[in-house]
Amino acid sequence: MAIVYVTGKVVKHLGDKGFTLVEEYKVGEWDRKDYYTVWFAELPAVGAEVKVKGSLSVKLREYQGKQTVQTAVNAKEVSVLTAPVSVPSVSDAPF
């Protein structure tokens, strides 16, 4: 079993037991995005920056002749680093 640490942004919820996390980084001159499925009972808000620690599982799936690799983290710890920023609407302006 591999224990991984991933820091990224929550992009969507998967029901009430998990969420999709995107980790963005550069490799040389290329921008990379890795997506993880995180299974955890408490869901952070979509857009929140989170740090996840958990066991890694990888699955190879085939859909109509195309193979994809899916990664999932069964999280032991999820900590929210930053909450999503909400921008006030024009109607909330003081003037």
On whether residue 91 sits in a domain, the answer given is no
Domain with 49, as residue range(s), is 2-83
pLDDT, residue 25, reads 87
| Tens-digit pLDDT profile for residues 40-58 | 888 888 999 988 888 878 7
| Tens-digit pLDDT profile for residues 56-94 | 787 777 777 777 777 777 777 777 666 555 555 555 555
Instruction: Report yes or no: 20 and 34 within 8 Å, Cβ to Cβ.
Output: no
On whether residue 35 sits in a domain, the answer given is yes
Instruction: State the Cα–Cα distance between residues 48 and 35, nearest whole angstrom.
Output: 15
Q: Is the pTM of this model over 0.75?
A: no
On whether residue 93 sits in a domain, the answer given is no
**92 phi and psi angles, rounded to 5 deg:** -90, -5
On whether residue 33 sits in a domain, the answer given is yes
Domains identified in the chain, total number: 1
CATH number of the domain residue 51 falls in = 2.40.50.140
